Amino acid sequence: MPTPRAADTKERILEAAYACVARWGLSKTSVEDVSREAGLSRSTLYRVFPGGRDELVAAVVGWEYDRFFARLYEAVRDAATLEEVIERGLTFAHRAIAEHEVLQRILKTEPELLTPALTVRSEGTIALVAAFLSPYLERHRLAPGVEVAAAADFLARMVLSYMTAPGRWDLEDPGQVARLVRAELLGGILPPG
């Protein structure tokens, strides 16, 4: 386990890297830029991130990814029903992604730099979202033949997909979100009626 000082240094570097990426983008952010922004020497940065720029970029993407999911969890953690969890989660996540200036900029200008980092994390994210949804599914009577694990995996994949690509659905409209959740996402999972 890193010492508190080492953890503080790592956090300082991640915050500085994020600020640099916000300012110049992923491809134009250098180790020197991050060192200067953090007020640390390059050797300190390389001690924390011995893999250099590639490791640093992966770490800052992961750091922001984790922060996003922590905020998402806060938005849904007190929801009483499965429907409410999914509705709140979709609405929050879609808005957060759409309003995230840095993410939107990178997706438009340098998606090839971001996609590998997100792809590596995607299976873990699906598993985490499925694990979060499982207790809600266990409280529901499910349609005949539907197993909790399979339903949770399906819902996790679909929710993550709709967060970034809602298709014909307006995720700003609570009525449309409710219809999406009840008709398309839960339609085959919960029994009719």
Neighbours of 130 (CB within 10 A): 21
Quote the pLDDT of residue 99. Answer: 87
Could you tell me which residues come within 8 angstroms of residue 140 by beta carbon, excluding any fewer than 6 positions away? Answer: 82, 190
Torsion of CA 136, 137, 140, 146, to 10 degrees: 180
The 3-class SS string of 93-143 reads HHHHHHHCHHHHHHHHHCHHHHHHHHHHHHHHHHHHHHHHHHHHHHHCCCC
Terminal Cα-to-Cα distance of the chain (whole angstroms): 51
CA distance 81 to 69: 19
d(CA 191, CA 117): 38
Q: Which residues of the chain have pLDDT under 50?
A: none
CA distance 186 to 82: 9
Residue 142 phi, psi dihedral angles, 5° rounding: -95, 160
The structural domains of the chain, ordered by start, are 1-60 (1.10.10.60), 81-193 (1.10.357)
pLDDT confidence of residue 140: 87
Q: Tokens 């994210």: give the residue.
A: 125
Going by C-alpha positions, the residue among 57, 68, 60 that lies closest to residue 11 is 60
Residues 57-75: pLDDT tens digits?
Answer: 888 888 888 888 899 889 9
> How many whole angstroms separate alpha carbon 181 and alpha carbon 74?
20
CB 134 within 8 A of CB 184: no
Residues 6+ apart with CB under 8 A from 33: 20, 24
Q: How far apart are the C-alpha atoms of 7 and 22, rounded to whole Å? A: 22
> From CA 51, how far away is CA 48, in angstroms rounded?
9
Tens of pLDDT along 152-184?
Answer: 999 999 998 898 788 999 999 999 999 999 999
